[in-house]
Amino acid sequence: MTTGTTAATDLAVLRRRTLALLATGQILGGLGIGAAFSVGALAANKLAGASWSGMAATMSTLGAALLAVPLARLADRGGRRISLAAAALVAAGGVALCVLGMVLSSVVVLFVGLAGAGASTAASLQSRFAATDLAAPQTRGRDLSLVVWSTTVGAVIGPNLAEPGEVVGRALGLPQFAGVFVFAIVAQLAAALAYALFLRPDPLVLSRQLELSLAATTQASADQSADQPVSGQPAKDQGDLGLVRLAILATALSHATMVALMAMTPVHLVHGGATLSLVGLTLSLHIAGMFGLSPVFGILSDRLGRIPTILLGQAMLVAAALVTALGAQTHGLVMIGLTLLGLGWSASTVAGSALLSDAAPPAQRVRLQGRSDMLMSLAGAAGGALSGPMLALVGYPGLAWGLLLPIAVVVAAAMLSRPSRRWSGRTT
């Protein structure tokens, strides 16, 4: 009893330590990267013209999508420590290429660098799953959401580094817009060092060791009981691939919905006579909705259930679409709509990610997580790419009405699923 209690206490301490380190890595990874992506659009505009400026965000998103699966495979083979540290190093190299592209006045090198910098986004997505490696089932949503919440720090500080970056750039003799990338390089290298030195024991490696220990104990108990069927692992270890598909669908389509409406809102507001300050405030409230209340949705997904929380998120996305469609000409209503959009994304993403970690078979869990991250990034890229033509064809209200379609797909899939209580309802 004493040994079991001590082991449980040690594991709880390790969980908290792992969460703190993952949150630190999220903060470091976000510093400078957000501003760098924004400044990348300005640099692309300077080097190749306005028609190419949108490619900056596209390349970073595609980079995150292309790197998600290889990084997941790396984690599957060597653990989270190696994968997250490698992602941060790739991101640092990508940012350095961005600086080189500006020095050489080469938009091609700049775009390649932005794709590499997308590794920071891939690492951020993988970190939320790393938070579930050692989490107890009844706190998995909460632990995941705490790492998501830490993204807020980098999102808030990052945009404010643009002007100091210009000062640093001038001091180093770098071209215009290149200075902010220096902050991003330093932060990514610091994140890589933090992961490599302090993410020990590796949460994924340790979780697998614990699963093997549990399987051995179950096998021994089964062998000792003639009435109990022999099984190498508990039944839940077979997973539920139907729920895995639902989780991936919910996170991907919720992300596409969020990106499509968010990307076109600044354009709509400016065309409607809004000031840049109002646009900035609207986006700040949207980002606060995305990350600020994520722990609340994590706790709800643990207590209320994964699928009910996904449906709550979809309800908020519906509200966002309705408010922005019906109040498109009122800046205050658009602001409310974008806040609801962030909240709906947060609930759906947190609960969907927790559901995936619950339902995936242990042997395939990391690979499925990587596939989910890839599809989420690709869906976001598609949503952003299609939102421009949609805005031109049907206007901002029409774009908002159109987003009810992907929301309806998620709701229908959730309502038609027949999950076990373990994964859809309360975990306690």
Report pLDDT for 328.
92
* pLDDT at residue 65 in the model: 94
Instruction: Specify the pLDDT at position 427.
Output: 43
Are 179 and 172 spatial neighbours (Cβ–Cβ below 8 Å)? yes
Over its C-alpha atoms, the chain yields an Rg (Å, rounded) of: 22
Three-state secondary structure readout of the chain = CHHHHHHHHHHHHHHHHHHHHHHHHHHHHHCCHHHHHHHHHHHHHHHHCHHHCCHHHHHHHHHHHHHHHHHHHHHHHHCHHHHHHHHHHHHHHHHHHHHHHHHHCCHHHHHHHHHHHCHHHHHHHHHHHHCCCCCCHHHHHHHHHHHHHHHHHHHHHHHHHHHHHHHHHHHHCCCCCCHHHHHHHHHHHHHHHHHHHHCCCCHHHHHHHHHHHHHHHHHHHHHHCCCCCCCCCCHHHHCCHHHHHHHHHHHHHHHHHHHHHHHHHHHHHHHCCCCHHHHHHHHHHHHHHHHCCHHHHHHHHHHCCHHHHHHHHHHHHHHHHHHHHHCCCCHHHHHHHHHHHHHHHHHHHHHHHHHHHHHCCCCCHHHHHHHHHHHHHHHHHHHHHHHHHHHHHHHHHHHHHHCHHHHHHHHHHHHHCCCCHHHHCCCC
Domains of the chain: 11-206 (1.20.1250.20), 236-424 (1.20.1250.20)
The tens digit of pLDDT for each residue in 133-186 reads: 999 888 999 999 999 998 877 766 766 677 788 888 889 998 887 888 888 899
- pLDDT score at 35: 67
Query: What is the CB neighbour count within 10 angstroms for residue 252?
Result: 25
Q: What is the pLDDT of residues 254-291, one digit of tens each?
A: 999 999 998 888 888 888 888 877 887 888 888 889 99
Q: Which ranges of the chain have pLDDT less than 50? A: 1-2, 226, 228-236, 421-422, 427-428
Whole-model pTM? 0.85
Which residue has 């599957």 as its token pair? Answer: 76
Are 352 and 310 contacting, i.e. CB atoms less than 8 angstroms apart? yes
C-alpha pair distances (Å), 178 with each of 22, 100, 103: 28, 9, 8
Return the pLDDT at 225.
57
Q: Report the C-alpha gap between 259 and 342 in whole angstroms.
A: 10
Report d(CA 36, CA 121) in Å as an integer. 13
pLDDT at 276: 72
The pLDDT value recorded for residue 235 is: 45
